[in-house]
Amino acid sequence: MSRFSDVGNDLYTGKRSVPVVALRRRFYGVSLVLLVVAALGLAVQGLNLGLEFRGGSEFRVATTSAPADYEQVARDAVGAAEDERGVNVTLVGNGTVRVQTERLDDTASQDVRQSLAKAFGVSEQDVSGTFIGPSWGASVSQQALRALIIFLIGVVVMLSIYFRNWKMAAAALVALVHDLAITVGIYALTGFEITPATMIGFLTVLGYSLYDTVVVFDKVRENTAQAFGSGRMTYAQAANLAVNQTMVRSINTTVIGLLPIAAVLVVGSIFLGPGVLLDLSLVLFVGILVGAYSSIFIATPILVTLRRTDDAVVELGKRAARHQAKVARVPAGTTPGATADADGDPVPVGAPGAGQREEGSTLTGRAVHQYARSGPRNQPKRPPRAKR
In the beta sheet, which residues pair with residue 347?
Answer: 339
Q: How far is the CB of 106 from another protein (least distance, A)?
A: 6
Q: Shortest CA distance to 117 belongs to which of 107, 106, 129?
A: 129
Q: Which of residues 211-230 bind another protein (CB under 8 A)?
A: 211, 214-215, 218, 222
When asked if residue 267 is in the footprint of another protein (CB under 8 A), the reply is: yes
Residue from 43, 44, 68, 367 in contact with another protein (CB under 8 A):
367
Q: Shortest CA distance to 16 belongs to which of 339, 370, 357?
A: 339
In the shown chain, the binding pattern of residues 327 to 366 toward another protein, with x for contact by CB under 8 A and - for none, equals -----x-x---------------------xx--xx----x
When asked if residue 132 is in the footprint of another protein (CB under 8 A), the reply is: yes
Q: Which of residues 105-124 bind another protein (CB under 8 A)?
A: 106-107, 110, 113
Q: Which of residues 314-333 bind another protein (CB under 8 A)?
A: 332
Q: Shortest CA distance to 245 belongs to which of 267, 218, 272?
A: 218
Per CB under 8 A, which region of 24-32, 37-45, 201-209, 310-318 contacts another protein? 201-209
In the shown chain, the binding pattern of residues 4 to 23 toward another protein, with x for contact by CB under 8 A and - for none, equals xxx-xxx-xx----------
Residue from 261, 290, 299, 351 in contact with another protein (CB under 8 A):
261
Q: Which of residues 237-256 bind another protein (CB under 8 A)?
A: 245-246, 248-249, 252-253, 255-256
Strands 56-62 and 96-101: antiparallel
Answer whether 260's CB lies under 8 Å from 174's CB.
no
Complex with another protein: residue 140 or 296, whichever CB lies closer? 140
In the shown chain, the binding pattern of residues 69 to 108 toward another protein, with x for contact by CB under 8 A and - for none, equals ---------------------------x---------xx-
Complex with another protein: residue 309 or 370, whichever CB lies closer? 370
- In single-letter form, the type of residue at position 60 comes to R
Strands 193-194 and 48-49: parallel
In the shown chain, the binding pattern of residues 279 to 318 toward another protein, with x for contact by CB under 8 A and - for none, equals -xx--x----------------------------------
Complex with another protein: residue 252 or 339, whichever CB lies closer? 252
Residue from 27, 50, 60, 299 in contact with another protein (CB under 8 A):
60
Answer whether 35's CB lies under 8 Å from 182's CB.
yes
Alpha carbon 375 to its chain's center:
40
Complex with another protein: residue 136 or 228, whichever CB lies closer? 136
Complex with another protein: residue 196 or 317, whichever CB lies closer? 196
CA–CA dist 102, 65 (Å, integer): 26
CA–CA dist 240, 243 (Å, integer): 5
Residue from 35, 37, 62, 189 in contact with another protein (CB under 8 A):
62
When asked if residue 385 is in the footprint of another protein (CB under 8 A), the reply is: yes
Q: Which of residues 137-176 bind another protein (CB under 8 A)?
A: 139-140, 143-144, 146-147, 150-151, 154-155, 158-159, 162
Residue from 160, 207, 306, 328 in contact with another protein (CB under 8 A):
207
When asked if residue 276 is in the footprint of another protein (CB under 8 A), the reply is: yes
Q: How far is the CB of 330 from another protein (least distance, A)?
A: 11
